[in-house]
Amino acid sequence: MTPDVWLLAVAVVALLLVVWSAWTLTRLGRLEARVDRAWTVLDTQLQRRAALAAELSRDHTDAVGEERAARLAATAREARTPLAGDRELAENALGRELRELPHGLPGAPAALRADLEGTATRIGLARRFYNDAVRDTHLLRTRRLPSLLRLHASRPLPRFFDIEDGLREVTSSAAGGGRARP
Amino acid sequence: MRIGLVCPYQWDVPGGVQYHVRDLAETLRATGHHVEVLTPAEREESLPAEHVTWAGRTVPIPYNGSMASVQFGPVSAARVRRWLREGHFDVVHVHDPAPPSIGLLVCMIATGPIVATFHAATTRSKWLAAWGPVIRPWLEKITGRIAVSDFARRVQVEHLGGDAVIIPNGVHVAAFAEGPTLPGRTRGVDGPTIGFLGRYEEPRKGLPVLLEAMRAVVRRHPGAQLLIAGRGDPDAVHGLLDDDLRPHVSLLGELSEEDKAAFLRSVDVYCAPNLLGESFGIVLIEAMAAGAPIVASDLDAFATVLEDGAAGVLVRRGDARELARALGDLLADPQRRARLSATGTRVAAAYDWSVVARRVLDVYETVALLGSGEVTAQDDDPGLAAVPGVSGGEPDGAPLRTVLRRWVQR
């Protein structure tokens, strides 16, 4: 074979590689934006829950009870500015406090109760969608060729966000019918 | 909220996904949202005058014994793009985006919040295993995924990656709960009736097992009648009957939506003897909404809907003797039937469209939060956009490619 043919073959391979890399970079860029957006949504909902919990403990101490209100206020503060730096831990503590509130919260305004419930549902959904985006990113980044070509290698891998939430409710096939299958 | 729904199957052909999209759109509209639908149809005139846009016709392709419809190409892409541009949607909701249809085209072309529902009406595992990796780059753009059942979610996780939130199919409970019954077939008055609904030629629907069981049921309840509704060849059923059974079986043929509701309100027991993978079992919910006590085989989907036997009797699939015993016992026990009927009504209420649409709306509001902008169409053709050298979308792709071209053409 003449050197020209060799050159052509190499060029074709190089071209394919460039096209493939560019396409993969597009995908990675898209995924990065999706992870960012999903995180913003999740973060907003978590902040909102903390704000609602703070409002509940501040303005409706009677409905919650003195001691519980103090605990709720503390966990809400911690969730907004996690001192130990572990957001998941702080959010879990707040979630636990909120779940242990008396059922139906007699004494608290209906609007606040509905808000709290709605936020809990949204957190479940937002967390699912965020982790979904993270999972897609991981799958693409850890494939052989992208990691060999060091595509996006300098950027940190996004982390999963794992907290205990009302996920059971979100995944159940119907409200009330969501018992775990034996 | 401005919502765009995409149905990849022909609107004027009856089907679960089509009804799902239609009912979801109606329910959301009733709560004050602006909903547009994009769908293919055999005839453009068959579409409603407003809020439904025609996306052309699909091409039927024989696959695995049934027909898969395919719609893919520049003309469809142009229609999708125009619909997206003119719609100004806050969120676009695609149904069954995996097959090569307008659902997938929307995933390729749209940028912005995309929600997708995976129905997985049939398992095409081999096909999905090969096709999944090909379409993955575009499915990655979906922000929120919904599966209609645990079964649909498993199919989606295994073959298409990602996870999904489970939101079940909806039913218009009121349409089944109230209304007339079939003439001369009033429940509890005109002799005990057992109902079966479905394409009865398909062995997986389990009609032969039910007919086998009917022999024993008829011996115990000489007045019992089996009513069979659905599409199929009547001769195929008559071939399975002998002279003893023939007077106890009636074929009603294919029923309209209203007649189906009347049929479910008329029967004393509804029986679903299916042998194989039903993804969801919406008919069981319709039967419960109509107050019919249910005897069903123990498929996963059925057990979930019937709350592991609390809302209906579950029998081992394919076991005619057990089925006969369950049907006979239930026909002999009116109080138990009344209890099951009451539980069924309560269970069905959770599947009412008002409840289900609210949960879908929660998903929309989650993905479209913070004014993340409306859904737009990418400027370039998806085929060209896939090659950044041509579209110029990538910073290093374009110059490199030009250099290469010059180098190759020297």
Domain ranges of chain B: 2-170+354-378, 174-350
**Average pLDDT, integer, range B316-335:** 92
In chain B, residues with a C-beta closer than 8 Å to the C-beta of A131 are 163
pLDDT band (50, 70, 90) for residue A83:
low
Q: Cβ contacts (< 8 Å) between A176 and chain B: which residues?
A: 347, 350
Tokens representing A1? 């074979």
Output the CA torsion sign for B362, B368, B369, B374: negative
Do B331 and B269 form a contact (C-beta atoms < 8 A)?
A: yes
Sign of CA dihedral A137, A138, A142, A148: positive
Segment B360-402, tens digit of pLDDT: 999 998 888 755 677 877 764 444 444 433 333 334 444 455 5
**Half-sphere exposure of A74 toward its Cβ, with a 13 Å CA cutoff?**
9
Pairing of strands B269-272, B376-377: unpaired
> Burial level of B107, CB count in 10 A (0-12/13-18/19+)?
buried
Q: Identify the domain containing residue A45 by its residue range.
A: 31-169
Give the chain B residue nearest A127 (alpha carbons): B366
Alpha carbon B70 to chain centroid distance? 18
Residue of A129, A139, A169 to mutate, testing the B interface (most B Cβ within 10 Å of its Cβ): A129
Q: What CATH number belongs to B2-170+354-378?
A: 3.40.50.2000
Q: Is residue A77 part of a domain?
A: yes
Q: Does B367 touch chain A (CB under 8 A)?
A: yes
Beta bridge partners of B250: B227
Pairing of β B313-315 and β B294-297: parallel
| Number of domains into which chain A is organized | 1
Cβ–Cβ below 8 Å for A125 and B366: yes
Measure CB to CB from residue A136 to each of B140, B144, B387 and give the nearest one: B140
CA distances from B57 to B73, B109, B156 (A): 12, 19, 26
H-helix or E-strand spanning residue B229 = strand B225-229
List the single residue in A with minimal CA-CA distance to B372: A37
State the residue for tokens 């209304």: B179
Read off φ and ψ for residue A94, nearest 5 degrees.
Answer: -65, -45
Residues of chain B with C-beta less than 8 angstroms from the C-beta of A19? 387-389, 397, 401
For residue A50, pLDDT over 50 is answered with: yes
User: A85 to chain B, minimum CA–CA distance in Å?
Assistant: 26
Alpha-carbon distance values, B279 to B14, B121, B151, B346 (Å): 17, 6, 6, 22
B50 contact partners, CB below 8 Å, separation of at least 6: none
Handedness of CA B44, B46, B51, B56 (dihedral sign): negative
Residue of A nearest to B144 (CA): A129
Q: Using an 8 Å Cβ cutoff, are B95 and B7 in contact?
A: yes
Q: How far is A1 from chain B (nearest CA, A)?
A: 17
Distance CA B223, CA B248 (A): 8
The answer to whether A140 touches A24, Cβ cutoff 8 Å, is yes
3-state helix, strand, coil in chain A (%, to 5): 70, 0, 30
Q: Which of B380, B294, B301, B306 is nearest to B341 (CA)?
A: B294
Closest by alpha carbon to B327, among B252, B250, B273? B273
Virtual CA dihedral for B349, B4, B114, B129, nearest 10 degrees?
A: 80
Cα maximum dimension of chain A: 90
pLDDT grade for B66, boundaries at 50, 70 and 90 = low
Q: Between chains, do B144 and A11 touch, taking CB under 8 Å as contact?
A: no
Total residues belonging to chain A: 182
Cβ(B363)–Cβ(A125) below 8 Å: yes
Mean pLDDT of A55-73: 81
Tokens of B407: 């180098």
Inter-chain contacts counted by CB atoms under 8 A, chains A and B: 116
Cα maximum dimension of chain B: 92
Residue B120 has pLDDT above 50, yes or no: yes
Task: Tell me if B355 and A135 make a contact (CB, 8 A cut-off).
Answer: no
Reply yes or no on whether the pLDDT at A178 is more than 60: no
Which of A45, A173, A179, A181 is most worth mutating to test chain B (most B CB atoms within 10 A of its CB)?
Answer: A173
Q: Do A44 and B370 touch (CB under 8 A)?
A: yes
Q: Is B132 on the interface with A (CB under 8 A)?
A: no
pLDDT in tens, B248-297: 888 888 888 889 999 999 999 999 998 876 667 788 999 999 999 999 99
Selected for mutation to probe chain A from B115, B366, B410 (highest A CB count within 10 Å) is B366
Model confidence at B113: pLDDT above 60: yes
CB contact under 8 A, B408 and A121: no
Q: Which of A16, A34, A41, A170 to mutate to test the interface with B (most CBs of B within 10 A)?
A: A41
In a domain, A14, yes or no: no
**pLDDT (mean) for B40-60:** 85
**Per-residue DSSP letters for B259-305?**
HHHHHHHH-SEEEE---S--S--HHHHHHHHTT--EEEE--HHHHHH
Please report the pLDDT score of residue B406 as a whole number.
Answer: 47
The whole-model pTM stands at: 0.81
The pLDDT assigned to A176 comes to: 34
Cross-chain Cβ contact B140/A34 below 8 Å: yes
Residue B404 has its nearest CB partner, among A11, A44, A132, at: A11
d(CA A26, CA B386): 9
Query: Are B408 and A5 in contact, with CB atoms under 8 Å apart?
Result: no
Does a structural domain hold residue A26? no
Higher per-residue pLDDT: A104 or A46: A46
- Nearest to B186, CA basis, from B254, B268, B251: B268
CATH number at residue A83: 1.20.1440
Residues of A in contact with B168 (CB under 8 A): 173-174
Dihedral sign computed on CA atoms, order A177, B1, B5, B11 = positive
Which chain A residues have a beta carbon less than 8 Å from that of B369?
Answer: 40-41, 44
Q: What is the pLDDT of residue B158?
A: 77
Pick the CATH number of B174-350 from 3.60.15.10, 3.40.50.720, 3.40.50.2000, 3.40.140.10: 3.40.50.2000
Is there a domain that residue A10 lies in?
A: no
pLDDT at B63: 62
Segment A120-135 mean pLDDT: 90
- What is the token pair recorded at B212? 């086998």
Mean pLDDT of B86-92: 91
- Could you tell me where the DSSP H helices lie in A60-81? 61-64, 66-80
In a domain? residue A174? no
Average pLDDT, chain A: 81
Mean pLDDT, chain B, integer: 83
Concatenate the DSSP letters of all residues of B296-356 into one string.
Answer: EE--HHHHHHTGGGTSSEEE-TT-HHHHHHHHHHHHT-HHHHHHHHHHHHHHHHTTBHHHH
The answer to whether A179 contacts B367, with C-beta atoms less than 8 Å apart, is no
